[in-house]
Amino acid sequence: MDRFEAMRLFVRIVERRSFTQAAADLDLPRSTATEAVQQLEARLGARLLQRTTRQVSPTLDGEAYYRRCLRLLDDLDDAESAFRQRTPRGLLRVDVQGALARRFVLPDLPDFLAAYPELKLQLTEGDRLVDLVRDGVDCVLRMGDLTDSAMVARRVALLPEVTCAAPAYLARFGTPRTPDDLGGHRMVGFLQAATGHPYPLEVTEGGNVRAVPVAADVTVNSAENTVAMGLLGLGLIQVPRYRVEDFLADGRLIEVLADYPPTPTPVSLLYPRSRQLSPRVRVFIDWTARRFSDERLV
């Protein structure tokens, strides 16, 4: 194993906190990974990794060497890519929000894989903001405002939001025509992860965004349950329009306050700030951005 290959292996071990997982990522036997790190430590005359029964972590020297390796490997990739066209290949790990991906990404995924036949895709689903480096994920697709400075976010869409309710709810509480009519109404609360309190209803009025507190008899922490509770007539809901377009079309939900819409929800692809974009990640990000652009959501 040459020095650059050993550096890539070491970087992967630090990021994955595991010899076994790093070796699997790079399609190497674990014994080869162990031997390569031992030779690396012997050549540098420094202990780079702390090994316990549960995980591997870098020493102070290891952390410093890891940062140097990242810069050197980025420079190497830059130099090589400047002189040859790099064909995307290998395993691409993407974590998505399921309903979002099923609506906008998955329908055209066969075309993407046909265009890049040397790529293998591993698609996982979740709502939490995963630790991309630790979990071995290349990029994630998420909705909402994101502020993690450890990642680069590329906004690919703004999803229109809608305020709506079931006919049974409106028959009981009345149909609000303006935000001032919301007194006495109920909403299905969506819990904020940071505070544990539900978001207020949001309206745009006269070009200004206004938060309107509305009582919530039921609170949830998923968009699926928000829609389900709305269909049961348990309150007003605010969700991306694409999630309820079928229910709006068949009358199971009714849009209200159409002249006072919520602000649209951003959709972003995120990848680690510490890594240069590999060709396989770059083509997926560019392709996904085009998918949302085709839907006129950018």
Model confidence pLDDT, tens digit, residues 111-146: 999 999 988 898 988 765 555 556 667 888 988 876
Dihedral sign for Cα 293, 295, 296, 298, please.
negative
Smallest CA-to-CA distance from 11 within 74, 53, 94 is with 74
pLDDT of the residue at 72: 84
Q: Could you tell me the CATH superfamily of domain 161-263?
A: Periplasmic binding protein-like II (3.40.190.10)
Residues of the chain falling short of pLDDT 70: 53, 77-86, 127-136, 146-150, 194, 274-276, 297-298
Model's pTM, two decimal places?
A: 0.69
Give yes or no on whether 3-83 and 161-263 have one common fold: no
CATH, domain 90-155+269-294, list 2.60.40.790, 3.40.50.10800, 3.30.70.1560, 3.40.190.10 = 3.40.190.10
Burial of 294 (0-12, 13-18, 19+ CB in 10 A): exposed
Beta strands in the chain (DSSP E): 49-51, 56-58, 90-96, 119-125, 139-143, 151-159, 161-165, 186-190, 201-205, 208-212, 215-220, 237-240, 254-255, 265-272
Backbone torsions φ then ψ of 147, nearest 5 degrees: -130, 15
- The answer to whether the beta carbons of residues 173 and 164 sit under 8 Å apart is no
pLDDT of the residue at 243: 93
For residue 30, the tally of other CB atoms under 10 A from its CB is 14
pLDDT of the residue at 276: 63
Smallest CA-to-CA distance from 144 within 263, 266, 239, 241 is with 266
| Domain boundaries defined on the chain | 3-83, 90-155+269-294, 161-263
Specify the amino acid at residue 261: P
DSSP string, 95-118: EE-HHHHHHHTGGGHHHHHHH-TT
pLDDT of the residue at 275: 61
**CATH number for the domain whose boundaries are 3-83:** 1.10.10.10
For residue 210, the tally of other CB atoms under 10 A from its CB is 13
Q: What angle do CA 47, 16, 22 make, to 5 degrees?
A: 85
